[in-house]
A and B are shown apart, each in its own frame.
Chain A
Amino acid sequence: MVTGNTQTIVNAIVAIAVWLIVHYGLARMFKKAGEKGWKAFIPVYNSWTSFKVYWETKYFLIGIGTVVVAFVISLVAQSQNVYELVMILPLLMMKVFGIVLAVRMSRCHGKNFWWSLMIFFFPDLAYICLGFGKSKYERFEGQFFEKK
């Protein structure tokens, strides 16, 4: 019979194992891009590194900055309603950035549209596939709004 405590321990072990595999996949992706693998295991810093490798770090700063500004506005307003309203903006922005990052990640590894979808919707699975797969990294320089 599995007791509640045993179940909790098993769940924790599985969660840690999955986290390690996913981040090891990301570490291998970073290595392909010439970055140190350990950066994948540090929260926030791994996001910074992803933006650095696949896009531009200024977008990471814009994303973080928007969250901070929205949080400060809601603190000043002291209203949960304002908080809920203003937090929608950075949430939407992060989703849009997530889409762009997914497409760029897919392009950097020579993958197509379907991979972009997989990276956006199932990033953990995508990191494992891209990290352990044979794809090679090649920086993608394309811009959404091409300079004339």
Chain B
Amino acid sequence: MKKPMSYRKEVTLVTLVAVTLAVIAIVVYVLFFGSLRKYEYKSDLKETSTEPAIYATYEDLLEGVGESYPFFQADMELYGGPSYVVPGLEMTVTLNDKTGKKAKCTSMTPQGLAVSDKYVFISSYCGTHKHKSVIYVINKETAKLEKTLVLDSMSHVGGLAYDTENQRLWVAEFINKKAYVGALELSEIEGYDQNSGKALKYSREVQLKGIKRASSVTYQDGRLLVVYFNMWKNGLLNVYKIGEDGNVNSKPSYKIDIDNTVQGVAYENNLLVMTKSIGPLNSTLQVFDLSANVDKNNKLKFNKDMTFNAKDAIYNIAMPEKLEQIYFSDGKLYMLFESGAFAYRFLSFSNVDRVISLDISKIK
């Protein structure tokens, strides 16, 4: 009769099988995800898609995402506001970066968000790095896509900020491996013809010193708050003043320590909110109360001792994975997720294919 395996050997073997299967699963996941990131499927659409890529209605989205995130569904049903379909997730008409010719891109990945009185702006980059990045201009009132701005850049365009003082849209840029912000005047945006076959150039570009990369940006009372995303170590929130001539000072007024994996920042009514997200982990909204830093004229004062880490937050709100940029407008926090992009559609626990808004003052 065959001698049974020793106990120690059996435990070791089962452990080896478990570890091997785990490694195989991770390798398959990485390879599958990697292949999706390089894949552009063919689309029969002729115009940039405006229909939702995943959920037909807002209610369907809440129910679908609520299966993985019931707390999110409950918050949104109680305190949710307007929502906007993220256009171009199915297909975006843009330009091929090499040939400069019109091209269909099916791998657009939304990154940046800004909201003005009239428009909701969403920036997206091509996941396969073949096409030029774009900004979708959505009518805030009607929620319809007005036009798609094709940028003269393939950059990640991770952040947008609407400068209400100068009627200008600032775009977080990465040029020659350096942090920049590029400006698009509202008049140029409104005058741009998306059928011209030409990319829209920035009216001005400013290199940002004291930061490796502009991962996200927001506008706050004559200043740009620029986030540097760091995966492992703490990141940075740099404050850059905008001068009377409308130019951004390239040297930061303040460099503020923030947590790692911060993807977006927004400010309104003494509340600074930052988003943290990475991979399939839950996203977090970190909410900081800055009322003690506001002067008599309601002007926010930064100081060199400030930090915006989890321990400084008055509360942290869990959100579905892959939350990117956020933006305040009309007392609501607008949120953009990248989980609706093709590459993430099959590898996420939830997919949010709309910009959604929430009154976060009601959640604690």
A-side residues, CB < 8 A to B, are 77-81, 84, 95-96, 99-100, 102-103, 107, 112-113, 116-117, 120-121, 140, 142-144, 146
Task: Compute how far the CA of A107 lies from the CA of B4 in the bound complex, rounded to whole angstroms.
Answer: 10
Residues of chain A contacted by B15 (CB below 8 angstroms): 96, 99
Q: How far is the CA of A80 from the CA of B8 in the complex (A)?
A: 37
The interface residues of chain B lying within 8 Å CB-to-CB of A142 are: 7
Of the stretches B28-36, B127-135, B308-316, B325-333, the one at the interface is B308-316
B11 touches A103 (CB 8 A): yes
Cβ-closest chain B residue relative to A83:
B310
- Whether B13 sits at the interface, judged by CB under 8 Å, is yes
- The answer to whether A79 and B14 have CB atoms under 8 Å apart is no
A80→B259 CA distance, assembly (Å): 9
Closest to B13 in A: A113
Contact A100 B11, beta carbon cutoff 8 Å: yes
Residue ID in chain B nearest A102 by CB atoms:
B14
Task: Report the separation of the CA atoms of residues A117 and B11 in the bound assembly, to the nearest whole angstrom.
Answer: 10
B17 engages A144 (CB within 8 Å): no
Q: Is the interface of A mostly helix, strand, loop or mixed?
A: helix
- Contact flag A144-B8 (CB < 8 Å), given A78-B310, A80-B284, A102-B14: yes
**Residues in B neighbouring A113, C-beta threshold 8 A:** 5, 10, 13-14
Q: Which of B4, B18, B260, B261 contacts A99 (CB 8 A)?
A: B18
**Pairwise interchain contact B10-A95, C-beta atoms closer than 8 A:** no
B281 within 8 A of A: yes
Cross-chain contact of B259 among A81, A102, A107, A121 (Cβ < 8 A): A81
Closest to B232 in A: A81
CB of B18 within 8 A of CB of A120, answer yes
Bits for B1-45, please: 1 = Cβ < 8 Å to A, else 0.
Answer: 000110110110111011000000000000000000000000000
Of chain B, the residue at the smallest CB distance from A116 is B14
Interface size on B, residues (CB 8 A): 21
CB distance from A110 to the nearest CB of B (A): 10
- Determine how close the nearest CB of chain B comes to the CB of A121; give it in whole angstroms: 8
Is the beta-carbon distance between A120 and B14 smaller than 8 angstroms? yes
Closest chain A CB from B307 CB (angstroms): 12
Whole-angstrom distance between the Cβ of A56 and the nearest chain B Cβ: 14
Which residue in chain A gives the minimum CB-CB distance to B318? A80
CB distance from B235 to the nearest CB of A (A): 11
Inside 8 A of A84's CB, which chain B residues have their CB?
281
* Contact between B10 and A116, CB atoms less than 8 A apart: yes
Q: How far is the CB of B188 from chain A (nearest CB, A)?
A: 40
Closest Cβ–Cβ distance, residue A100 to chain B (whole Å):
6
B213 close to chain A: CB less than 8 A = no
Which residue of A is nearest B313, CB measured?
A78
Shortest distance from the beta carbon of A123 to any chain B beta carbon, whole Å: 13
Residue from A77, A81, A99, A140 within 8 A of B14 (CB atoms): A99
Name the 5 nearest CB pairs between A and B, nearest first. A142-B7, A78-B311, A79-B310, A99-B14, A103-B11
Contacts of A102 in B (CB 8 A): 14
Asked if B241 is at the interface of the complex by the 8 Å CB criterion, the answer is: no
* B311 touching A95, Cβ below 8 Å: no
Across the interface, do A79 and B13 meet the contact criterion of CB distance under 8 Å?
no
A108 → chain B closest CB, angstroms:
12
Q: Which residue of B lies closest to A98 (CB)?
A: B18
Whole-angstrom CA separation of A103 from B5 in the bound complex: 11
23 interchain pairs (CB within 8 A)?
A77-B311, A78-B310, A79-B311, A80-B284, A80-B310, A81-B260, A81-B310, A84-B281, A99-B11, A99-B18, A100-B11, A107-B7, A112-B4, A112-B5, A113-B5, A113-B10, A113-B13, A120-B14, A120-B18, A140-B7, A142-B7, A144-B8, A146-B8
Chain A residues with CB below 8 A from B310, complex form: 78-81
- Does the CB pair A80–B7 fall under 8 Å? no
Give the residue name and chain of the A residue nearest to B284 (CB). Answer: A80
- With A78-B310, A81-B259, A84-B281 in contact, is A95–B14 under 8 Å at CB? no
Given contacts A113-B5, A144-B7, 7 further A-B contacts (CB under 8 A): A79-B310, A79-B311, A80-B284, A80-B316, A103-B7, A142-B7, A143-B7
CA distance A135 to B261 in the complex (A): 52
Which residues in B have their C-beta under 8 angstroms from that of A117?
14, 17
* Shortest distance between the CB of A126 and any CB in chain B (Å): 13
Give Cα distance in the complex from A78 to B267, angstroms.
22
